[in-house]
Amino acid sequence: MTTVKTIHTIPTGRTPMPEQAPQVRATNFEEVALGYTLPEALREADRCLECKKPRCIAGCPVGIDIPGFIRAIAQQDMRRAYEILRQDNPLPGVCGRVCPQESQCEVRCIVGIKAEPVCIGRLERFAADYAMAHFEAETPSMAPAGKKAAIIGSGPAGIACAADLARAGVDVTIFEALHMAGGVLKYGIPEFRLPKSIVDREIALLKQMGVTIELNTVIGKLFTIPQLMQEKGFDAVFVGTGAGFPKFQGIPGENLNGVFSANEFLTRVNLMRGFRHPEYDTPVGMGRQVAVIGAGNTAMDCARCALRMGAEAVTVVYRRTQKESPARAEELHHAMQEGIQFQWLTNPVQILGNADGWVSGMECIRMALGEPDASGRRAPVEQPGTNFVIPVDTVIYALGTRANPIIAKSTPGLKTNQWGYIELDEQTGMTSLPGVFAGGDIVTGSATVILALGAGRRAATGMLQYLGLRPAEASAEARAAKTGA
Amino acid sequence: MSTGYRIVKKEVYSSVTYMWEVEAPDVARAAQPGHFLMVRINEEGERIPLTVADFDRQRGTVTVVIQAVGKSTREMMALAEGDSILDFIGPLGEASHIQKRSKVILVGGGLGVAPVYPQLRAYKELGSTTLSIIGFRTKALVFWEEKFRAQSDELHIATDDGSYGHKGFVSQVLQMLLERHRDTEEVVAIGPLPMMRVCCDVSHPFGVRTMVSLNSIMVDGTGMCGSCRVTVGGKLKFACVDGPDFDGHQVDFDELMRRQRRFQREEQESLQQYEEECRLLGRTA
Ligand SMILES: Cc1cc2nc3c(=O)[nH]c(=O)nc-3n(C[C@H](O)[C@H](O)[C@H](O)COP(=O)(O)OP(=O)(O)OC[C@H]3O[C@@H](n4cnc5c(N)ncnc54)[C@H](O)[C@@H]3O)c2cc1C
Ligand SMILES: Cc1cc2nc3c(=O)[nH]c(=O)nc-3n(C[C@H](O)[C@H](O)[C@H](O)COP(=O)(O)OP(=O)(O)OC[C@H]3O[C@@H](n4cnc5c(N)ncnc54)[C@H](O)[C@@H]3O)c2cc1C
Ligand code: SF4
Ligand code: SF4
Ligand code: FES
């Protein structure tokens, strides 16, 4: 380091992200945030104080060497910036875009105390995109370790686990139920927030590392876990099947025509490319006045997809306030800019239908936040006599998901908890079955991409140990780099 | 398996009904009566649910029988023996819970004849007395008569117009058989929704358990989307993971029939556009 930076010498404001104008982007599926240019990235990188005891790292679930990669950007050594990121995060281009930075790394940034925190996520995205555009990916060829591992599910947890195992020379096969790899990154999060080409490149990298991907393979149906281990010769298995089983509320009218789960709506639009119907065959079946129930990332994605699909009005209904909304701040902000309407402190009581069985409205009731409960959260309570009807013809449920039962049903002895999520041994990270590991949403319930990645990596460590193998050397180097070598 | 799945045999049963035998050894090995598949023919295609109509573990093939009702199933009909399809995903759903019954009646209506077949064979293998009823609109549409006869103690054929076998609906024959065979322990009815519903109405007074196979509209077929949800016994069920077989006396058929019409407008548009393209290309749709 040559210059001594302090909070007083750096620009206080964050470098703004170039974006498509709200009126324009509300009619297309192209990416909203365009990404920093090199000068913008350099300006933002310059705002990092490169702290000796960086607080930000503790906020990142995978412990990325944040000052390290930002310093490399500042020095215009993009290859190194990317390498530092990849050491801890196999999907920097994804996480830079979709991590809830404001509650993870950026909330801890020291600059944030007096000014606006450093845009860590935007810089991470910049480094990843730069690498994608300029460098050939390097994939180390590993000496085979003579062990085979099966990964079930190609979401972030499975991808991360596969990458670490492949790096250690394990012969890895990913089994994916759908006709496309990537999990929620592909079928859930829409194109305008996470272009599919970004995910595809990461998956291509995995293949270059020697990972085999078998699509169209529903484990528990085509093969069971016991078959994988006994007949197919896999020495260890990782279950990363996500929590993709939609929840409904149990109010009258939920099976009327025009009521969708978020997963159905998003799958029709994203996975099946319904936004290009009839060129693509799968219809979406959306009306003109859309209500979305819930206010998380999934709800924002549904609302904004509906808008782009040509809805005249889209209303998000949530029983708490904006403050409690679990969505990324940026997504809420973008949704508001695009003209999505919000009914906070509002809960649906029933969905109304017309004589033909189609949705004609949604009856709601106003809520108020009551006394804090045991967990310290203020529970919403109904305000009697405040019922009103929102005239809509489409209702989308974005109330979260549960565990899919297929794996648990077909795997005798696999312990799950009362909600169907897989239980792990805290010491070994293993499930109740020897050699079977798990991680991501199928263990924790719906969480975040980076938490799933972290879980996949932890499981890989446990699997290597179980297989009697050592983790790849790369991570030893990473440790050295991190301790300031 | 990016190379796709080859159609090793195709038979055309009528102007709208056809059979594919598809090479898919792993699926053939795991398939059981009652399972279904998700099929997508090309990149732009929908995922189309089809019931396993037969499987041959030695040959490594799975047979499906398809009725051309809309754009996708017509486009599929244009494929020839030797062509490959992109995705052939399965087996999905819960296999039928087939246990030895002294006497069962198996009813197949139209296309439902095909998915009833593996259940018929399984009951026969368990030593049950099997009474089969297969029904079609008219004689020209009849298929698999011999296949059924070989596994049935009694085979009844019905046509709506009386051009072959009994004149009338399969449900009328079912009524007759239930009266004659009071010791019937189970009815299996597969076919169009109205037919399954009438069969359930017929069997209800006899108190005979009646299993139906629900063809609700699906996207993934793995429990992820909830498109296929049905109400059975007052409870929310996903046809693709909890079914597709259900106790027909518990099914809310009104709701299901309404939900089958969810995409009518889009389906019409797709079909019209497809017919237009075919016309321009000088092909028959
Ligand atoms: C619409 C939406 C938006 C989101 N937005 C964000 C966001 O902005 N930021 C963020 O951090 N997080 C977000 N999340 C959450 C995040 O995507 C998930 O927490 C994360 O994807 C979980 O990863 P996973 O690997 O555990 O599972 P998934 O991504 O769900 O992947 C599981 C994979 O396993 C496959 N599978 C399931 N069962 C089987 C089987 N039996 N055999 C074979 N394969 C099987 C599935 O098809 C799927 O591909 C969002 C989620 C949704 C739904
Ligand atoms: C479990 C299950 C098993 C089935 N087995 C068979 C079979 O063995 N042979 C066969 O010919 N057909 C079967 N079907 C029905 C078949 O999937 C539909 O006929 C087909 O999807 C119609 O597509 P299309 O584009 O040709 O027609 P469209 O014009 O799109 O639709 C015609 C009608 O088919 C139904 N349909 C449309 N899309 C779907 C969908 N994604 N899922 C289910 N139904 C839909 C609707 O009622 C619609 O009105 C089965 C359906 C299910 C759910
Ligand atoms: S992975 Fe996510 S939490 Fe970690 S540094 Fe990057 S943006 Fe922040
Ligand atoms: S806390 Fe902020 S300023 Fe300090 S190293 Fe991390 S990002 Fe840079
Ligand atoms: S088809 Fe998607 S849940 Fe059944």
Q: What's B198's domain CATH number?
A: 3.40.50.80
State how many domains chain A has.
3
User: Which of B2, B74, B220, B252 to mutate: most A Cβ within 10 Å?
Assistant: B220
B36-46 residue pLDDT tens: 999 999 988 99
B128, B64: one domain: no
Distance from the CA of A117 to the center of ligand 3, in angstroms?
Answer: 13
pLDDT at B170 over 60: yes
CA distance B31 to chain A (A): 8
Look at residues B116, B136, B120 and name the one whose alpha carbon lies nearest to residue B128.
B120
Structural domain includes residue B100: yes
pLDDT interval class at B285 (50, 70, 90): low
What whole-number distance in Å separates Cα of residue A182 and Cα of residue A205?
13
Please give the share of chain A, as a percent, with pLDDT higher than 90.
73
B60-77 residue pLDDT tens: 999 999 999 888 899 999
pLDDT at A479 over 70: no
Q: Is any ligand 2 atom within 6 A of the Cβ of residue B119?
A: no
B78-101 residue pLDDT tens: 999 999 999 999 899 999 888 889
Q: Is any ligand 2 atom within 6 A of the Cβ of residue B217?
A: yes
pLDDT at B193 over 60: yes
Q: What angle do CA A89, A96, A447 make, to 5 degrees?
A: 75
A160, A197: one domain: yes
User: Which of A218, A268, A278 is facing B273, going by the closest CB pair?
Assistant: A278
Domain of B43, in residue numbers: 5-92
Please give the share of chain A, as a percent, with pLDDT higher than 70.
96
Ligand 5, residues B40, B225, B263: which to mutate, most atoms within 8 A of Cβ?
Answer: B225
B236 touches chain A (CB under 8 A): yes
A230, A251: one domain: no
Domain end marker among B187, B206, B225: B206
pLDDT at A9 over 60: yes
pLDDT at A483 over 60: no
State how many domains chain B has.
2
Structural domain includes residue B219: no
Strand order, beta sheet including A394-397: A259-261, A394-397, A289-293, A313-317, A341-343
Q: What's A54's domain CATH number?
A: 1.10.1060.10
Query: Residues B252, B233, B53, B80: is their CA dihedral positive or negative?
Result: positive
Peptide bond into A140 cis (omega under 30): no
User: Which of A184, A187, A255, A279 to mutate: most B Cβ within 10 Å?
Assistant: A255
What whole-number distance in Å separates Cα of residue A199 and Cα of residue A183?
10
Structural domain includes residue B225: no
pLDDT of residue A478: 44
pLDDT of residue A2: 53
B24-33 residue pLDDT tens: 999 999 999 8
A315, A442: one domain: no
B241-265 residue pLDDT tens: 998 999 999 999 999 999 998 988 8
Is B270 in Cβ contact with A283 (below 8 Å)?
A: yes
B102, B176: one domain: yes
A236, A342: one domain: no
What does B245-285 look like in DSSP terms, one character per residue? EEEGGGB-HHHHHHHTTTTHHHHHHHHHHHHHHHHHTT---
pLDDT interval class at A60 (50, 70, 90): very high
pLDDT of residue A481: 45
* Ligand number, closest to the Cα atom of B216: 2
Region A222-238: mean pLDDT is 95
Domain of A442, in residue numbers: 148-244+403-466
B26, B100: one domain: no
Which atom of ligand 4 is found nearest the CA of A120?
A: 7
User: Which of A255, A264, A406 is facing B219, going by the closest CB pair?
Assistant: A264
Structural domain includes residue A40: yes
A300-309 residue pLDDT tens: 999 999 999 9
B149, B83: one domain: no
Region A218-225: mean pLDDT is 95
Q: What is the helix (H) or strand (E) element at residue A406, kind and residue range?
A: helix A406-410
ipTM of predicted assembly, 2 dp = 0.92
What does B102-155 look like in DSSP terms, one character per residue? SEEEEEEEGGGHHHHHHHHHHHHHTT-EEEEEEEESSGGG---HHHHHHH-SEE
A175, A49: one domain: no
pLDDT of residue B37: 96
pLDDT interval class at A372 (50, 70, 90): confident
Is A244 in Cβ contact with B72 (below 8 Å)?
A: no
B266 touches chain A (CB under 8 A): yes
Residue whose CA is closest, atom 37 of ligand 1?
A: A241
Is A277 in Cβ contact with B263 (below 8 Å)?
A: no
Q: Is any ligand 3 atom within 6 A of the Cβ of residue A124?
A: yes
Domain end marker among A401, A431, A458: A401
pLDDT at A103 over 60: yes
Region B2-17: mean pLDDT is 87
Structural domain includes residue B56: yes
pLDDT of residue A428: 83
- Give A-chain residues touching B262 at CB under 8 angstroms: 257-258, 285
CA distance A403 to chain B (A): 10
Phi, then psi, of B245 in degrees rounded to 5 = -80, 135
Region A270-293: mean pLDDT is 88
pLDDT interval class at A10 (50, 70, 90): confident
A282 touches chain B (CB under 8 A): yes
A194, A125: one domain: no
A424, A395: one domain: no
Phi, then psi, of A455 in degrees rounded to 5 = -65, -40
Distance from the CA of A451 to the center of ligand 4, in angstroms?
Answer: 21
A254, A396: one domain: yes
| Identity at B282, one-letter amino acid code | G
The H-assigned helical ranges of B32-128 are 71-77, 113-125
pLDDT interval class at A4 (50, 70, 90): confident
B68, B130: one domain: no
A292, A378: one domain: yes
pLDDT of residue A459: 95
Q: What's A357's domain CATH number?
A: 3.50.50.60
Please tell me which residue of chain B has the smallest CA distance to A247: B226
